[in-house]
Amino acid sequence: MTRVFALISLALGALLTTGAFIAVFFFVPIANGGELAQVANIGGEQVTHQLWFSQKIFYFHVPVAIASFAALALGAWHSIQYLRTKRPVCDLRARTAMEVGLIFIILTMISGDLWTRSDWNTWWNWDPRLTTYLILMLLVIAYFILRVQIESPERRARISAVFGIIAFANAALSMLIPRLMESMHPVVLSGSADSGLTPPMLAAFLTALFGMLFIGFGLYYLRSMQLELAERLALVQARYDEAQGS
């Protein structure tokens, strides 16, 4: 039953994101950039502004980035739950959420990199926003290295829960830096009424966002179920071996 739930979430996510991407390329208008010196005629249309075709990556990059934060927040939440209740399943869920988070972080890095290559004409730049996000990725990788380095399962769960919380607090602090400092990275979702998105753009963006969140949740759900089953299997195996031995 629960597996069906996870699969529905994944399928819904796939459907929404695919739909959003098709819409983005066929129906949503291209974003306008700076004004042109003279009106150009492209494909039978009068064009007065520079067109930003590369802006299309916004509908992938930003939802993936938001999904990565959601996954990390979920990981921190389960870490807190572990410290409160000491239930091993919380540790397992925290770890799964971090895994999903890492996947989305890597996707954000790749899509962001493609965009900086096309718009800033460079693969990498030590812009505050890029740097803080790179640090976030290193923190999550460090979380997994830390897990491998501790042998006792109880201590591993406890210590990595503490580090998960520290990492999340740190990520939140890091994200303040580009808001306070000067950054080249565009801020579209700043909370102000005029975000520059026309209604069709916003609709496509929100569809892609919800799709990504569903995919993330489906992945998290499937993976944590798999890990829980593996743990139960190991337990049964251990009991079986014990019975055989006696």
Partner 1 sequence: MKQFMTLLRKDLKIEFRTFDILSSMGIYAVLVLVVFGVAFMLGENSYDITPLASGLLWVLAVFTSLLGLNRSFNREREFSALEALLLSPLDRGVLFLSKVTANALFLSIVFVVAVPLFVFLFLQGGVQGNGVLAPSAPLVLAPLAVGILGIAGVGTLLATITLHTRGRDIMLALLFIPVIFPLLYSCVTASSMALLGISDSMVFLQTLGMGVGYDVIMILVGWMLYDFVLNG
Contact residues for partner 1, defined by CB under 8 A: 83, 86, 128, 131-132, 135, 138-139, 142, 145-146, 149-152, 154-155, 158-159, 161-163, 165-167, 169-170, 173-174, 176-177, 180-181
Which residue, 28 or 165, has its beta carbon nearer to partner 1? Answer: 165
Q: Is the dihedral of CA 114, 120, 121, 127 positive or negative?
A: negative
Which residue, 149 or 190, has its beta carbon nearer to partner 1? Answer: 149
Outline where the chain has alpha helix (H): 2-26, 58-85, 88-119, 128-149, 153-180, 199-245
Which residue, 13 or 164, has its beta carbon nearer to partner 1? Answer: 164
- 224, 71, 76, 179: CA torsion to nearest 10: 170
Smallest distance from partner 1 to CB 177, Å = 6
- 82, 87, 88, 92: CA torsion to nearest 10: -50
Length of the chain in terms of residues written: 246
Smallest distance from partner 1 to CB 99, Å = 18
Smallest distance from partner 1 to CB 239, Å = 26
Smallest distance from partner 1 to CB 114, Å = 24
Which residue, 35 or 151, has its beta carbon nearer to partner 1? Answer: 151
In DSSP terms, which residues pair with 31 in a beta bridge?
A: 52
